[in-house]
Amino acid sequence: MHIVAVGGSDAGISAALRARELDPSAEVTVVVADAYPNFSICGIPYYLSGEVGHWSNLAHRTHADLEATGMRLRLDTLATGIDVDGRRLALRESDGTETTLGYDELVVGTGALPVRPPIAGLDPLGAADGVHVLHSMDDTFALERSLDRIRPATALIVGAGYVGLEMAEGLTTRGIAVTQVEMLPEVLPTVDPELGALVHAELDRHGVTVHTGSTVTRVGRGDAGLHVEGAGPDGEPLAWDVDLVLVVVGVRPDADLLVAAGARTGPRGAVVVDETMATGLPHVWAAGDCVVTHHRQLGVTYLPLGTTAHKQGRVAGENALGGAARFAGSLGTQVVKVFDLVAARTGLREHEATAAGFTPVSATATPDDHKAYYPGAQPITIRVTGDVGTGLLLGAQLVGARGTETAKRVDTYATALFHGMTVDGFSELDLSYTPPLGSPWDATQLATQAWARLSRR
Amino acid sequence: MHIVAVGGSDAGISAALRARELDPSAEVTVVVADAYPNFSICGIPYYLSGEVGHWSNLAHRTHADLEATGMRLRLDTLATGIDVDGRRLALRESDGTETTLGYDELVVGTGALPVRPPIAGLDPLGAADGVHVLHSMDDTFALERSLDRIRPATALIVGAGYVGLEMAEGLTTRGIAVTQVEMLPEVLPTVDPELGALVHAELDRHGVTVHTGSTVTRVGRGDAGLHVEGAGPDGEPLAWDVDLVLVVVGVRPDADLLVAAGARTGPRGAVVVDETMATGLPHVWAAGDCVVTHHRQLGVTYLPLGTTAHKQGRVAGENALGGAARFAGSLGTQVVKVFDLVAARTGLREHEATAAGFTPVSATATPDDHKAYYPGAQPITIRVTGDVGTGLLLGAQLVGARGTETAKRVDTYATALFHGMTVDGFSELDLSYTPPLGSPWDATQLATQAWARLSRR
């Protein structure tokens, strides 16, 4: 049995690890487009901020760790085609050599590519001009070289999603004056604007200049550095002269390899797989950011996350060996740290719930993370969404200071959602309490009780 | 409808609050033996340590807050008897006046009393001698007066459970040299000794002198202060001269009022109630530390915890109004902070699981709280217990540094246990991840995966 995985990031490596774990006799090869297998893409902002000593520390496992599991790695090797009937993968090595690799089962985890938004003048610009995207280790090294070469005093970040916010913090930490431009009405648009506003205030507090409801329309070389033009919420012209531009407005699935082999695509152009991670092409499995996401509440969608890629990859690796694993589905659980604030969410927000056929109501509460009499108590803003018809818990969004255990409080909601609990039922959970770290009804339960009071009215 | 609650702590107040919340027309009276309704007993160590400014801050709600809900409080009033047939409660007021109070429905939450262990010489000693127990606000004030009067340089604490450990920290914080004596082989006996040893080391690190496997056999007045004698693990004699002795070896149900009225008792002498909090006596409900605990895995047991008392009280209050609420059951979820360490548990340990008919296996893992490349990562010791036959998750114990979100990570396990998940199924949970606060498989999942690897072998 020879299993070949394409992709050295979360999905491909997880599949390979799982296969080796379950069957140490299985031959497993991972084809990696670059030289950086199993790197933590989510850690890149912390390397660029200067908080991670050496880029090699970003590896979840070293090359030696990976080979010690018995898998074989083919680095700097691009998969260019799949001969589905012949079960052969076409490869191009870094020196241009074309070759093929036979497989019994194939797991494709080609991941995603950064979206380049339609900004006039953007296409011809690149790293040499101080204009960057950020997704791979090569992108990271390119940006690092620009930071070293240009020594920017100012930077403009297009986008205020997770990566944009982390990079706003990271570049600020390096002493760079950051301007951040977000098209939507509030930063961190994956949470409700009421909670995003708390993150916005945290950016303000740390000196980031934030423009929401604003677009970047043009970028070009200026007299010294880059000249950027845009439009504010009322269409008023905006202009900035900066030393560096970073475009981080999301990703799209890198599905070309699978599509060329005949795979079907679904939401956002991601490859359709079932819950076993089967593509429908014989002996071809796929996982991670290149495939659709089964969401426990929404059905088939596209929601690329590292946690999901790990789970999908693990399922694909098991099934490539003949297993019967199923991906249990995502709840879109996410968390981000922005300076001293932590913002998290799981499940559905109102507009998503409405689209999914629910009748959602949301309530916001601000319970303290622990008993107020014990020093250091801080409020966590918690917005609970539930269905008024069934009483089902639909989702939760939380924003709290670092140290309030907000990142793991969202997990309690995620676990409750996994099991389809009602908002009222959430109060039955036996959660931990000690005055320095909680309250007899945990903050998460005080928030669901606030929802219950609101929905009774 | 007149609902009377006996007891001003968690259970009685929760019942009263719930009744007033659900039916603002209900007349609700709470009979409180002392002058301190709705005080946070769990907060007492933090008042005595000096961390809480004023004792009145320990109130979950002020007297005015409580009365604003529409309940009536009868403070300094002892319930001395229940006329079940006549639905009248006999009361003794602080001036000795005997009176009665009629009710339609009665909720009894008389709580627990501190256990006085069989130590020779203990009985005649009390606060005037610098010998203390610690359970009520009156106990708190008595100990505070001793601290002010004696200005102890040294103290001996009998017991190293939750309160004993918190008081070891609290008295150390006050600059008192603490000796702690625990009968069982390791401190914090509610977790496995392997994890208790980590707490023991934390006590050592902060200068507490700990004697485990040791007993206190005699206490008496010495030349200056108190002379305490005991025996070490091999029966060797031990002796200490100290300024203060604190005896905190657990509690027993305060069931006299209900027993005299005809209620049945179960484990540890606690009053038997069903899951609706009915005592079997007509129109008499009971909740909190005076009643048995329905445990989701163990059935009927006795496990007094504030979180449970809140839930049981809420159920009793709803049912006193004619509702049909049921206490969903405890999982024994607990957490304690000891200096800079947090120890938590939920569900069963091996010996409990064996007694309940399972075939338990446990695995200990020490995953980092967050990605090691981000500064400040610290290991959390996690011991997962599962059933080898069914694969069911049975329990988890965690010890981690403050700041590792250990207190709320135990809640993820508690929520999974509530729903009867398997250890393998736990990996399917969609938990949050960002490098400064977690890992793509959360620490909790890395621990269950370690269990799965062990149990496959």
SS (H, E, C) B135-176: CCHHHHHHHHHHHHHHCCCEEEEECCCHHHHHHHHHHHHCCC
Q: Is residue B258 part of a domain?
A: yes
The rounded distance, in Å, linking the Cα atoms of A49 and A167 is 8
- Residue A334 to residue B411, Cβ atoms within 8 A: no
**Quick one: which of B299, B296, B275, B300 has its CA closest to B286?**
B275
Q: Is residue A334 part of a domain?
A: no
- Residue B411 to residue A409, Cβ atoms within 8 A: yes
Strand ranges inside A222-347, DSSP E: 226-231, 237-242, 244-247, 251-253, 284-286, 293-295, 299-301, 334-338, 341-347
What CATH number does residue A377 fall under?
Answer: 3.50.50.60
A96 and A159 share one domain: no
Interface test with B, best of A60, A191, A411, A442 (most B CBs within 10 A): A411
Among the partner residues B330, B440, B444, nearest to A10 by beta-carbon distance: B440
The rounded distance, in Å, linking the Cα atoms of A430 and B73 is 29
Residue B142, judged by CB atoms within 10 A of its CB (0-12, 13-18, 19+), counts as middle
The rounded distance, in Å, linking the Cα atoms of A287 and A15 is 9
pLDDT of residue A223: 84
Final residue before a domain boundary, out of B320, B355, B378: B320
Q: Is residue A422 part of a domain?
A: yes
- Residue A438 to residue B373, Cβ atoms within 8 A: no
**Quick one: which of A201, A221, A198, A223 has its CA closest to A210?**
A201
pLDDT of residue A34: 96
Among the partner residues A375, A410, A419, nearest to B51 by beta-carbon distance: A375
> Minimal Cα–Cα distance from B20 to chain A, Å?
13
The rounded distance, in Å, linking the Cα atoms of A311 and A13 is 11
pLDDT of residue B457: 78
A201 and A156 share one domain: yes
Q: 3-state DSSP call for residue B116? A: coil
Among the partner residues B374, B428, B440, nearest to A306 by beta-carbon distance: B440
B183 and B235 share one domain: yes
- Residue B21 to residue A346, Cβ atoms within 8 A: no
Residue of A nearest to B411 (CA): A431
Residues of chain B contacting A419 with CB distance shorter than 8 Å: 415, 418-419
Amino acid at the residue A373: Y
Residue of B nearest to A46 (CA): B374
Residues of chain B contacting A307 with CB distance shorter than 8 Å: 430-433, 440-441
**Quick one: which of B449, B453, B455 has its CA closest to B429?**
B449
Q: Is residue A332 part of a domain?
A: no
Domain count, chain A: 3
- Residue A430 to residue B418, Cβ atoms within 8 A: yes
> Minimal Cα–Cα distance from A444 to chain B, Å?
10
Residues of chain B contacting A368 with CB distance shorter than 8 Å: none
Residues in Cβ contact with B116 at an 8 Å cutoff, skipping those fewer than 6 apart: B122, B123, B133, B247
Phi-psi region of A175 (alpha: psi -120 to 50; beta: other; left: phi over 0): left
Domain that holds residue A76: 2-112+252-320
- Residue B333 to residue A418, Cβ atoms within 8 A: no
- Residue B407 to residue A438, Cβ atoms within 8 A: yes
Q: Show the low-confidence residues of chain B (pLDDT under 50).
A: none
> Minimal Cα–Cα distance from B83 to chain A, Å?
33
B151 and B226 share one domain: yes
Tokens in use for B169? 């920290």
Residue B30 DSSP class = E
- Decide: B3 and B321 in contact? Cβ < 8 Å: yes
> Minimal Cα–Cα distance from B180 to chain A, Å?
21
Residues of chain A contacting B329 with CB distance shorter than 8 Å: 430
- Residue A436 to residue B346, Cβ atoms within 8 A: no
What's the Cα-to-Cα distance from B99 to each of B87, B90, B221, rounded to whole Å? 14, 6, 42
- Residue A311 to residue B335, Cβ atoms within 8 A: no
Among the partner residues B374, B408, B433, nearest to A405 by beta-carbon distance: B408
Q: Show the low-confidence residues of chain A (pLDDT under 70).
A: none
What is the Cα gyration radius of chain A? 23
A218 and A156 share one domain: yes
Task: Count the residues in chain A.
Answer: 457
Other beta carbons within 10 angstroms of residue B282's beta carbon come to 11
Q: Is residue A328 part of a domain?
A: no
Final residue before a domain boundary, out of A227, A247, A267: A247
pLDDT of residue A222: 87
- Residue A430 to residue B51, Cβ atoms within 8 A: no
What CATH number does residue B432 fall under?
Answer: 3.30.390.30
Residues in Cβ contact with A297 at an 8 Å cutoff, skipping those fewer than 6 apart: A331, A347, A348, A353, A356, A394, A417
A131 and A196 share one domain: yes
Residue of B nearest to A375 (CA): B51
- Prediction ipTM score: 0.97
From the DSSP assignment, how many helices (H) and strands (E) are in chain A?
A: 11, 25
Interface test with A, best of B55, B393, B434 (most A CBs within 10 A): B434
Which is it for the CA torsion B437, A377, B430, B450, positive or negative? Answer: positive
